[in-house]
Structure 1
Amino acid sequence: MLINRRTFMLGSAAGIALGATGSSVTLAAEGVELRAMWWGSNDRAKRTLSVAKLFEEKNPGMSIVGESISGDGYWTKLATQMAGRAIADVFQLEPSTISDYSKRGACLPLDPFVSSALEIDSFGKDVLKLTTVDGKLWGIGLGLNSFALFYDADAFEKAGITPPGVDTTWSDYADIAIEMTKAAGKRNVWGGPYGARYAYVFDAWLRQRGSSLYTESGLGFGVGEAKEWYAYWEDLRKRGGTVGPDIQTLDQNTIDTNCLALGHSAIGMAYSNQMIGYQQIIKNKIGIGMLPRAEKGGPSGHYYRPALIWSIGATTNHGEEAARFINFFVNDVEAGKILGVERGVPLSPKVREAILPSLNSTEAETVKYINALKDQVGSYPAPAPLGSTEFDQRVLRPIADQLAFERISVAEAAEQLVTQGKATVRAG
């Protein structure tokens, strides 16, 4: 049964009721009901709902209404809630959106709850900076991750081709992707994705060259850099190293719509914590590595980031209770064992240590990957300015699609990206 786009009620007395139309159960008398909203795979939904049920068992009188929404529909739903002043009590954000939405008034500052409902001293001050904007704490990271390159290890082994490694350059990557397309020898199967569509890959590309996707005041790149970026992907597409545009446009920024998960490519680009979700969909063994770099020994462009973030809705009437739920999510050992590392490596040292023995091989690989990045990561970037979410969804992706369909040229795409980007992204 699919969980995405459906709403469920978890009652402390009656457990989980999962009906085809989103059935509910009787709430505890005179209790507090919290609404929680997130996006992600069915596996994430199941883990989240299980932790919500555990929270209810340990906190009699409290109940959680959980809603999992797929793809860009999440942001549409959040925008509707913001307009109606009915934001979920607890909702999910990510590093590229927390600055944007906190400045738009979607979030409640968490500083008043620190030490009372939120116990986060063990996380370290540097980690808390990752969810701090303008001197205030707007969310709690649910785990650490970074950018990653996933690949079909079985397909690479069968082809006798060495997968991308720590010193793989973008030039090397192009050769590997083209080789894998030839090795597949199948219609609608290519070496890798049309990565011009991915903001986080562009971010790493720019950081490798001493630039950035954003600054605190707006875009961090110019037309020349955008032109180089688009030229690379167009050249690779025409040489047969990327999926076709009709396949790439299926990608809704979710695991199950990614070309690797759909079986159309041997390589995918995503976030390290998503390896678990990919491995559950893909029959072959998945490998994980870093994104290619501009030159051997040069900057990787990677940085540690909170994989996902829980924030509290600005319109909530239950801020303290919402903070207690978040605290349970990140600090309870039993909850940590249910969640594993699907949302990233836990920030709590106690939880991290407790779950390590129970991790399966795929989960252990994501922890190993994060640890291996220790000497490769750079500093965390400035918080994304206002409009960054819209830039990703309404500017960068559509322009990349038009380019891949050959409706515009590389030069036109670069000009449009910067012009439209400057009109969309701005200082708060």
Structure 2
Amino acid sequence: MQINRRSFLMGSAGVATGLAFGAGSAIPAFAEDAQLRAMWWGSNDRAKRTLEVAKLYQAKTPGVTIVGESLSGDGYWTKLATQMAGRAIADVFQLEPSTISDYSKRGACLPLDEFVPSALKVDTFGKDMLKLTTVDSKLYGIGLGLNSFALFFDQTIFEKAGLPLPTPDLTWDEYAKLAVELTKAAGKDNYWGGPYGARYAYVFDAWLRQRGKSLYANGSLGFDVEDAKEWYSFWEDLRKKGGTVAADVQTLDQNTIDTNCLALGKSAIGMAYSNQLVGYQLISKNKLAITMLPRERKGGPSGHYYRPALIWSIGATTKNGEAAAKFIDFFVNDIDAGKILGVERGVPMSATVREAILPNLNPTEQDTVKYVNLLKDQVGDYPAPAPLGATEFDQRVLRPLADELAFERTTPADAAARLVEQGKATIRS
């Protein structure tokens, strides 16, 4: 079985290149032969792990061929939109908590209830875990692991600068002072303390939850203009003091590892999802560490909640629903598959797989598991599914407005008013 290396690297970098990893004539043909298309976004490391699991599955499942495709963040959603318009959605495709409600309501996902438990054995996940991927009382995806939001930081840079490492009880005011000190202490051109976080919907959500609100509520926005103004003012004030990367650096971020300012070597701090620490560490020469996002006040709510790191859903247009369900089942329940995947897509939902892989985890992966465990007494309730239009709100409203602000083309007050006005026009319950 061979994989064309050039195609693999191109696909991982975001070029729409199919990755066929079937065993061809080496696998006997059966009447129920099935070719499955799988599509995801992520780093080269994620693509490599996914390919290895798919090869393992094919070796154990004669008659099934899987064609995989790995794309960049924005390229992925463009491709998915094209597939939806052409009624040719990949058999298995990747979603996340902020997009599963949106895409299931738009008819992209096949309900999976009919495959449980015949093809999908998820009883060991626990009922609450299935709620994370249930929309309107139907199961539309299978969580591939648990994670939460996180603060990543370059421990090597902190130690060289002689600054205290961020702790779980760090407040936003303390964070701001630390970010400015980091920029000064690093003493490098085009290098800053942290990101321009106004662009991150999930960080804004945590910020709001710390204040008793949320990003979405009752099928609409869960915040008002004053909340948004406070949020934007915090980041603009920090940018002007030198605590965030420049606007042209932040706009490169496509919510992927290789475009984040920490991964690009432009900042000492990054904000991302806990499972991504593995991918970040792979491309960083320095030691990276992980802790919780800052909070409003000492001892106050963290704003964190457990979430399915990523999700496999089945395309509504598939002709091989049961075969796709069996592949997903293998992905989340097979111990050998779990050892290949590690915690790159989150800490495994299955307690059996989680226990089996622990001895084989490297220090970075173990840090990820420890972080998820650290949150046990800090997490709040999982939010209601994001309303229809949530993906568009994030990509076409929140991020562009943050970019305008960072480039000083608008003010916090104006950006806040437009965020709420355009947000309400975009969100559809």
Query: What TM-score, normalized by structure 2, do the two folds share?
Result: 0.96
Residue in 1 that maps onto 2:42: 40
**Structure-1 separation of matches of 2:29 and 2:362:** 36
State whether residues 130 and 305 of structure 1, in contact with CA within 8 Å, keep that contact through their aligned partners in structure 2. yes
Work out whether 1:288 is the aligned partner of 2:290: yes
How far is 1:216 from its partner?
3.4
CA contact (8 A) 2:180 2:242 kept: yes
Residue among 23, 40, 46 paired with 1:12: 23
Alignment deviations for residues 305-334 of structure 1 (CA, whole Å, 9 cap, x no partner)? 000000000000010000000000000000
Letter in 2 for 1:329: F
Cα deviation 1:346-385 (Å, max 9, x = unaligned)? 0011100100000000000000000010000000001000
1:138 aligned to 2:140?
yes
1:250 maps to 2:261: no
How far 1:164 sits from its partner (Å)?
1.6
Q: Distance in 2 between matches of 1:373 and 1:285?
A: 22
1:29 offset after TM fit, Å? 6.6
Alignment of 1:11-410 (within 5 A): 11-13=22-24, 28=29, 31-410=33-412
Q: Aligned partners of 2:396 and 2:377: how far apart in 1?
A: 35
CA distance in 2 between counterparts of 1:194 and 1:29 reads 54
Instruction: Return the letter of the residue paired with 1:100.
Output: D
Distance 1:216 1:282 in 2: 41
Q: 2:290 and 2:358 mapped to 1: Cα distance?
A: 19
Residue type at the aligned position of 1:307: A
Aligned amino acid, residue 349 of structure 1:
A
Structure 1 residue 27: Cα displacement: 9.3
Q: Secondary structure of 1:298's match?
A: coil
Please give the per-residue CA displacement for 1:208-241, whole angstroms capped at 9, x wherever unaligned. Answer: 0000001131110010000000000000000000
C-alpha contact 2:38 2:93 (8 A) present in aligned 1: yes
Kept in 1, the 8 Å contact 2:168–2:292? The answer is yes
Partner of 2:3: none
Q: Distance in 2 between matches of 1:14 and 1:254?
A: 37
Aligned-partner SS, 1:72: helix
How far does residue 14 in structure 1 lie from its aligned partner after superposition? 6.7
Q: Distance in 1 between matches of 2:172 and 2:280?
A: 23
- d(CA) in 1 for partners of 2:245 and 2:222? 28
Residue-pair matches, total:
417
Query: For residues 44 and 25 of structure 2, what CA distance do their matches in structure 1 show?
Result: 22
Tell me if structure 1 keeps the 8 A contact 2:28–2:62: no
Q: Structure 1 vs Structure 2: percent identity of aligned residues?
A: 74
How far apart are residue 12 of structure 1 and its match?
2.7
Unaligned runs of 5+ in 2: 1-5
Q: Give the counterpart letter for 2:20 in structure 1.
A: M
SS in 2 for 1:334: helix
Q: CA deviation at 1:187?
A: 1.2
Tell me the secondary structure at the aligned position of residue 21 of structure 2: strand
